[in-house]
Amino acid sequence: MAYLRVLTAVLVCSCMPLRAEVITVAVAANFQQPAREIVEVFAAHTGHRVVLSSASTGKHYAQIINGAPFDLFLAADRRRPEMLEQQGFDHAPRLTYAVGRLVLWSPDADQTAEGRLRSGQFDYLAIANPRTAPYGTAAREALDNLGLWQSVRDRLVTGESVTQALQFALSGNAQLALVARSQVGLLDPAGSRWLVSESLHQPIEQQAIALNGSPTTLALLRFLRSEESRTIISRHGYDPGPADTVLVDPVAPDENRP
Amino acid sequence: MLNDADLTALWITLKLAGVTLIILLLLGTPLAWWLSRTRSRFKFMVEALVALPLVLPPTVLGFYLLILLGSQGPLSGLLEALGIGTLAFTFTGLVIGSLVYSLPFVVQPLQAAFVSMGQRPLEVAATLGASPMDRFFTVAVPLAAPGFLTASVLGFAHTLGEFGVVLMIGGNIPGKTQVLSIAIYDHVEAMDYANAHWLAGLLLVASLLMLMAVYRLGRRYATVGPR
């Protein structure tokens, strides 16, 4: 085993570029774990080092427009990348790297989560804040389309993020929570879950945007579409985005851009 | 300007700070009195517990309260038996959180005031035939007036600015548990900076005025006071 590892190391080293670079990626808090696995593979292939900074997409956006030194932004929605693109971050087309799925989760397995929601047998339903969190917006749309929004409104509690919404249910204070499939996958099988149909809400698209035109940044952006990345992304409970997206290399880096 | 939801959040915040302060004065005064007079060897433990919310991040308090009040929490059986049910996401739950969060800001100034008056005025009152209750209400409380003022303003103002605890156990329900600081946070996250500015500015000015009142009145007591 040991000589195999040495051999691998030699092979990997021999194909590395002479100057390995360090790039910094702002990653949405919900995507931190898959991102870690993806950049590990990327680093093994290319020899570049990737530093991940995790926070909410709203905070990252505020940091980026105030000059934060990130190279690539993996957002939790498509709104913020769109806004950045309009502000001149158009080094490469935006890329939908993952599509989130909404799950209704109940800590109690005695009754199905769906049955509980439809029959109204709960005190509180936790969702992420519809005004600020993409999963919250999707949750509101789904409840609207199920014709339940008005009847559950006064029993809604909102977390600042989808993580907090799950926490409300995990601690037993809320009996139901509309959360991300990527989170529920990590829980042990206790409880009851119901995958909310995609037709009930706008797709929860998570988009990536390059914040500069450096070849390494664009290489990592492209790598998000690779088969290896897509496997990791689906294993974590996301749909890996449309496969037909073609990313072309920018013709020449724009020298005039700061 | 402030919209309806913001005004509601303002009202909830003032109500929360007011109710919390009244309960804290009722509970904190005997506790501070005991701490200022006791020779118990457990005094240091009680003092440490009272001071704990000063050093703990509010999210830690909120996290433990969430677990404590939850349906699997150690208090759930008792709460069910009393017919109270879930306290998280209710105004009562916020009051409980705020009591813990602002406790040291009320108890510590009171304790300091009781300690600094010394035993002498109380002994004199006793020789004049004042009962213990009499001594407390007609001698100790007036002498500790600056302490009560500081405790009241700090307790009120600290609850006003509370964020971490309510974020964890409040559930952000407009008209019930959405307080000013949460409304500001939402405005900022939604990039509605105009509304955020109004609320944040209001909180800033109110807090500054209250603290100025403490220091201004504190000075008057210091110059006109008993010593």
Question: Which residues of chain A are within 8 Å of residue B191 when distances are taken between CB atoms?
Answer: 58, 61
Q: Is A254's pLDDT higher than 50? A: no
Contacts of A28 (CB under 8 A, 6+ apart): A54, A56, A57, A60, A74, A75, A76, A206
Do residues A183 and A208 share a domain? Answer: no
Q: What is the ipTM of this complex?
A: 0.74
Average pLDDT, chain B: 88
Do residues A107 and A190 share a domain? Answer: yes
Instruction: Decide if A242 is inside a domain.
Output: no
Do residues A72 and A128 share a domain? Answer: no
Instruction: Decide if A249 is inside a domain.
Output: no
Of A10-19, A69-78, A93-102, the poorest mean pLDDT is in: A10-19
> CATH number, domain at B59?
1.10.3720.10
CB-CB contact of A58 with A80 (8 Å) = yes
Residue in A131, A167, A172 closest to B71 by CB: A172
> CATH number, domain at A51?
3.40.190.10
Instruction: Decide if A241 is inside a domain.
Output: no
Do residues A175 and A207 share a domain? Answer: no
Q: Provide the pLDDT confidence category of residue B17 given band limits of 50, 70 and 90.
A: very high
Do residues A106 and A191 share a domain? Answer: yes
Question: Are the Cβ atoms of B186 and A132 closer than 8 angstroms?
Answer: yes
Do residues A54 and A118 share a domain? Answer: no
Instruction: Decide if A258 is inside a domain.
Output: no
Question: Are the Cβ atoms of B70 and A156 closer than 8 angstroms?
Answer: no
Instruction: Decide if A8 is inside a domain.
Output: no
Do residues A144 and A177 share a domain? Answer: yes
Sign of CA dihedral A178, A180, A181, A186: negative
Instruction: Decide if A11 is inside a domain.
Output: no
pLDDT in tens, A106-131: 988 888 999 999 999 999 999 999 98
For residue A221, what is the DSSP state?
H
Q: Is A64's pLDDT higher than 60? A: yes
Do residues A191 and A147 share a domain? Answer: yes
Instruction: Report the DSSP beta bridge partners of residue A105.
Output: A177, A193
Range of the domain at A177: 102-195
Question: Which H or E run contains B173?
Answer: none
- Say if B88 is an interface residue toward chain A (CB within 8 Å): yes
Q: Hey, of B184, B191, B193, which one would you mutate to test binding to chain A, going by the most A CBs within 10 A of its CB?
A: B191
Do residues A41 and A81 share a domain? Answer: yes
Count of domains for chain A: 2
Count of domains for chain B: 1
Question: Residue range B104-115: average pLDDT?
Answer: 96
Question: Are the Cβ atoms of A173 and B69 closer than 8 angstroms?
Answer: yes
Do residues A70 and A188 share a domain? Answer: no
Q: Which of A27-31, A42-46, B66-70, B222-226 has the highest mean pLDDT?
A: A42-46
CB-CB contact of A221 with A34 (8 Å) = no
Question: Residue range A23-44: average pLDDT?
Answer: 93
Q: Which of these three, A172, A195, A218, is where a domain ends?
A: A195
pLDDT in tens, A202-247: 999 999 999 999 999 999 999 999 999 999 999 999 999 776 554 5
Question: Are the Cβ atoms of A171 and B70 closer than 8 angstroms?
Answer: yes
Range of the domain at B125: 4-224
The pLDDT of residue A30 is: 86
Helices A32-46 and A215-223, packing angle to 10 deg? 120
Tell me how many residue pairs between chain A and chain B have CB atoms under 8 A apart. Answer: 63
Question: For residues A200 and A120, what is the distance between their CA atoms, to the nearest angstrom?
Answer: 19
Say what the pTM is. Answer: 0.78
Of B59-73, B106-120, B149-163, the poorest mean pLDDT is in: B59-73
Instruction: Decide if A212 is inside a domain.
Output: yes
- Say if B85 is an interface residue toward chain A (CB within 8 Å): yes
Instruction: Decide if A215 is inside a domain.
Output: yes
Q: Which strands, in side-by-side order, build the sheet including A72-74?
A: A49-55, A22-28, A72-74, A204-210, A95-100
